Chains A and B, each alone.
Chain A
């Protein structure tokens, strides 16, 4: 049975941008091992002749005229942000100087 190790949880948390405590990493490793262990029931089903389904709507290619229509004002768009500067969203620094 696949074990979701603490290292795997740590790596996934990094990918998902979640900071987890050691206690959480330990707990999630146990809980997810149980759930993934259950899901392994699908491992041996043969699906080689089957295509994937990602959507169940029958609508496709919905087009509209490219017209300018009223939308949110700048004030409305910014009102829920905790960090703005000169009417822009202020984002945390991503690139760091060495």
Chain B
């Protein structure tokens, strides 16, 4: 299976003409045709003939100077506008929406020569952590089809884990890249807020939304990040901070680095099997020369409440644009979960409650930021679980409103802070993947990737393939 190879390996084989993009695209479609009817990782799949023709052109036009991702098949979460390719955000309101322009991140990947296979399934508007809140059939976890793949970028994680694509672009508002990466045994990076342009990303909660890469390994992520990042004059929140050649800085030793274990992240609510897995990872980091230190976040326990009050207030405002006038269908088409989220956000912003709920949450956001900054003065990065539990059975979360939001316990606060966080495979329990996240200071993607890269050199969790793949 070619797509099992890393971006670097594929690029090298393509350059030497030992393989070609047509082979890769054929493999993508074979894999999709074989298993996606059971997993539902795509909402829209491009016409195979058209894509094969595109691959033939790529093969003809490949140059020595072509990008490392030139001619590789990829997919993108359906939360990104793609010119004249249907874009639904997982909801029937946009069932027939063909954007007149493309997202900035999509253009960057396409300009580098990658080949789009299709648009990935997701919880509608990013509203969920299970890819069940979708109007295009709930997605299934390739490691156990009776379970959720995580979300909201669930379709992208499935497509990578089953090698339908080489890599994908996801989006993370409160864990939506990290959560499915953890549940499907793939690697995903939630970038620092502003590191990648949000232009053309369908907004969930604008002060939290982050565009990020999803892939098979940290090494692959580092190549993608240097292509995706950078200032965009059409997104005034995009950062002017210099973009580093992340891929060239991997392999630096982490001797003497201090890895913080935030005590509150390992408390009540965490599955003991996940706790054990992450503590085992600390032994590997120590072997690599890092020091482990316990740190505190007293207000972390309020994280889910603060996150949801802000995210849902913002989403009730963002989704008010769907009035069926300029594009899209009527508001009746919002899903149950989304309607509930709009109602709750409207409540938090309404007269009489805004001070007690929305504004209070914004003040608590300030406190969380200070606590993160303080903890990261004592250490270089933080190590934490991604989700409190193993992938749930389908139907379990979507029918339990409180359990559903508690899934974001470990991820949502990081979006409130705007910090970067790398989710990578750390082990298994009962045959189900367990991920961990490495969280850093703002714009410290380089350190996160270095640490994650060294961990993946020492372990092979990220190389394991789900049983749904016949090898």
Count contacts between A and B, CB distance < 8 Å: 144
**C-alpha gap A87/B67 in the complex (Å):** 42
Interface residues of B in 377-434 (CB under 8 A from A): 401-402, 405, 416-418
B269 within 8 Å of A (CB atoms) = no
Complex: chain A residue closest to B402, CB-CB = A34
Complex: chain B residue closest to A15, CB-CB = B346
A81 within 8 Å of B (CB atoms) = yes
A31-B340 CB under 8 A given contacts A52-B359, A80-B100, A80-B326: yes
B316 contacts across to A, CB distance below 8 A: 16
A41 contacts across to B, CB distance below 8 A: 301-302, 305
A16 contacts across to B, CB distance below 8 A: 316, 320, 342-343, 346
Is A77's CB under 8 angstroms from B305's CB? no
B293 contacts across to A, CB distance below 8 A: none
A17 contacts across to B, CB distance below 8 A: 320, 323, 331
Pick out which of these stretches binds chain A: B3-11, B216-224, B362-370. Answer: B362-370
Q: Is the interface of A mostly helix, strand, loop or mixed?
A: loop
**C-alpha gap A17/B332 in the complex (Å):** 9
A18-B359 CB under 8 A given contacts A47-B367, A81-B326: no
Interface string of B340-374 (1 = CB under 8 A from A): 10111011001000001101111111110100000
Is A59's CB under 8 angstroms from B343's CB? no
> Interface size class for chain B?
35 or more
Interface string of A44-57 (1 = CB under 8 A from B): 01010011111111
Which residue of A36, A54, A59, A79 contacts B347 across the interface (Cβ within 8 Å)? A36
B70 contacts across to A, CB distance below 8 A: none
**C-alpha gap A92/B323 in the complex (Å):** 10
Size of chain A's interface in residues, with CB distance under 8 A? 50
Interface string of A14-44 (1 = CB under 8 A from B): 0111111000100110011011101101110
Is B325's CB under 8 angstroms from A42's CB? no
**C-alpha gap A55/B336 in the complex (Å):** 29
Is B347's CB under 8 angstroms from A32's CB? yes
Interface string of B48-82 (1 = CB under 8 A from A): 00000000000000000000000000000000000
A13-B306 CB under 8 A given contacts A56-B417, A56-B418, A83-B325: no
A66 within 8 Å of B (CB atoms) = no
A80-B98 CB under 8 A given contacts A42-B361, A45-B302, A59-B194: yes
A-B interface, 6 closest residue pairs, ranked by CB to CB distance from nearest: A56-B418, A80-B327, A52-B362, A47-B363, A76-B100, A39-B305
Q: A18-B342, A83-B325 are in contact. List 18 more A-B contacts (CB 8 A).
A: A9-B343, A16-B343, A20-B339, A32-B343, A35-B402, A38-B305, A41-B301, A42-B364, A45-B360, A50-B364, A53-B362, A53-B365, A54-B362, A55-B207, A56-B418, A59-B240, A80-B326, A91-B325
Binding site for B on A (CB under 8 A): 4, 8-9, 12-13, 15-20, 24, 27-28, 31-32, 34-36, 38-39, 41-43, 45, 47, 50-59, 62, 64, 72, 76-77, 79-83, 89-92
Q: List 11 A-B contacts (CB under 8 A).
A: A27-B336, A35-B405, A39-B309, A41-B305, A51-B366, A52-B359, A54-B362, A57-B193, A59-B239, A80-B96, A80-B97
Binding site for A on B (CB under 8 A): 96-101, 193-194, 207, 233, 236-240, 299, 301-302, 304-306, 308-309, 316, 320, 323-328, 331-332, 334, 336, 339-340, 342-344, 346-347, 350, 356-357, 359-367, 369, 401-402, 405, 416-418
